[in-house]
Amino acid sequence: MRPPRILHVGAPLALNGGALLRDWPIAWRSWGRLDADGGNAVLVCHALTSDCHVTSAGEEGTPPGWWESIVGPGRAIDTNRFFVLCANVLGGSDGSAGPSSPEPGTGRPWGMRFPQVTVADMVQAQTVLLQHLGIRRLRLVVGGCLGGMQALLWGVRHAAMVDAVVAISVRLASSAYSIALWDVVRRAIRQDPAWRSGDYYGGAPPGDGVALASAIGLLHWMDPALMERRYGRRRREGGGPAGQAPLFEIEHMLEGVVARAAAGAGRIDPNSLLLLTRAIDLFDLDDGAGGIAGATEPLPRHLVVSYARDLRYPPEEGERLTQALRKAGAKAKHRTLSGQVAHGGFLLEPAPVGALIQEFVGP
């Protein structure tokens, strides 16, 4: 797989929290061709644990991307028709400025000295990339969860530039429950002695902490009814009751989640998880001038997608968001999907949301 392209930006980025980010990189991938007038671009915003490898389309021998079945030639987001762009999120890892990127001056990884970023900062960083690429219009901005929050802010802050927004698994503002969940997830990472206050670069990353965090997260994105249907109380052959070897099938599944997360702690920087989950906490589209109320131009049309039984982003909150968008003048529709998976359905069962996107984008 070829690495993402990287734009090194000299002009400082003024962050929401007051810090100035100097000499910052932003990593991105694209598919399809940009029209001569720069008017056929689609921006895909990735979620917490994804990156800009959206699809392998057009690159042979490459592993599938996280939205392989949605983005590609003839697919819901058609790369024969659109120039599709995805940037690694600011504050993340994998090439964009974040805790694992070198701090200008020292050249050493920022670690937890990297300033706290917000969703608005992520969007601002993307505008710089778009300007560089000569993109003047976005036919669509689309994303789920953290990506959906970015898509919503694109619609509100850059209404004149965006034709349409698809925001999946989102709400007006992160709930108390969501804040509590991420607080516990961050504790799990920070409590790993290998975390070393964020200065673990060059050594082993806090894999156990990330593994535990992923198990904590699973308890909240996987619908209890699905756990019951899929695993129930079925036991493993050879499991012991003493609590260390998986006795039940569902424990075996968790063991796999934990092992993959521990192995992936090198791929997704744990410090980025600390930073990005905090950005999710801070997200509030209802926050006076910074949110919907501050929009100065007619809002683009919106499709809001919720998943039934998603505890953090329930359909009633998707509806509330849709009403708020309409109240602000947007054409907005709300659809609720009810797949096997509650939160994360857009990643794990992409077909239904793909159909909604295709219909929304139109011919």
Quick check: helix, strand or coil at residue 245?
A: coil
Does residue 320 interact with its own copies by CB under 8 A?
A: no
C-alpha 83/C-alpha 32 separation (Å) is: 5
Residue choice 208, 310, 335, 343 for contact with its own copies (CB under 8 A) = 208
Smallest separation, CB 274 to its own copies (Å) = 5
Q: How far from 102 is each of 40, 80, 86, 264, 276, CA to CA, in Å?
A: 34, 37, 22, 21, 18
Extended beta strands in 17-163, E state = 20-21, 24-31, 41-45, 71-72, 77-78, 83-87, 138-144
Selected binder of its own copies within 122, 152, 159, 212 (CB under 8 A)? 212
| Residue 179 engages its own copies in binding (rule: CB under 8 A) | yes
Q: Which stretch binds its own copies (CB under 8 A): 40-48, 137-145, 227-235, 289-297?
A: 227-235
Q: Is 188 in the site for its own copies (CB under 8 A)?
A: yes
Q: How far is the CB of 262 from its own copies (least distance, A)?
A: 11
- Of positions 20, 132, 136, 228, contacts its own copies by CB under 8 A: 228
Q: Considering the rule CB under 8 A, would residue 34 count as an interface residue with its own copies?
A: no
Judged by CB under 8 A, which stretch of 88-96, 143-151, 156-164, 182-190 contacts its own copies?
Answer: 182-190
Sheet order of strands, 138-144 included: 5-9, 24-31, 83-87, 41-45, 138-144, 164-168, 301-307, 332-337
According to the binding rule CB under 8 A, does residue 324 interact with its own copies? no
Span of 185-193, 288-296, 321-329, 348-356 interacting with its own copies by CB under 8 A:
185-193
Does residue 19 touch its own copies according to CB under 8 A?
A: no
CB of 187 to its own copies, least distance (A): 6
Cα–Cα nearest to 152, from 306, 333, 325, 16: 325
Among 128, 215, 293, 324, indicate the residue that binds its own copies (CB under 8 A): 215
- CA 237 to chain centroid, in Å, comes to 38
The set of residues, in sequence order, having a beta carbon less than 8 Å from that of 258 and lying 6+ positions away, is: 211, 212, 214, 215
Task: Name which of residues 40 to 59 contact its own copies (CB under 8 A).
Answer: none
Q: How many residues bind its own copies (CB under 8 A)?
A: 55
Closest-CA residue to 43 (of 120, 152, 121): 152
Per CB under 8 A, the list member of 281, 305, 307, 325 interacting with its own copies is: 281
Q: Which residue has the tokens 């999710």?
A: 280
Q: What is the closest distance, in whole angstroms, from the C-beta atom of residue 272 to its own copies in the complex?
A: 12
How far is residue 266 from each of residues 50, 109, 258, measured CA to CA in Å? 13, 14, 14
Q: Which of 212, 145, 146 is nearest to 185 (CA)?
A: 212
Listed residue (211, 216, 218) closest to 194, CA to CA: 211
Helix, strand, coil % in the chain, rounded to nearest 5: 40, 15, 45
User: Is position 192 an interface residue for its own copies (rule: CB under 8 A)?
Assistant: yes
Among 89, 165, 181, 341, binds its own copies (CB under 8 A): 181
Give the span between the Cα atoms of 216 and 219, in whole angstroms. 5
Nearer Cβ to its own copies (72/291): 291
Q: Which two tokens stand for residue 323?
A: 């009403």
Q: Nearest distance from residue 204's CB to its own copies, in Å?
A: 14
Based on DSSP, count helices (H) and strands (E) in the chain, helices before strands. Answer: 10, 12
Q: Which stretch binds its own copies (CB under 8 A): 46-54, 170-178, 289-297, 329-337?
A: 170-178
Region from 129-137, 148-156, 208-216, 324-332 binding its own copies, contact rule CB under 8 A: 208-216
Query: Which residues are near its own copies by CB under 8 A?
Result: 17, 112, 116, 173-177, 179-181, 183-184, 186-188, 190-193, 208-209, 212, 215-216, 218-220, 222, 224, 227-228, 230-233, 241-244, 247-248, 250-251, 254, 258, 274-275, 277-278, 281-282, 284, 311-312
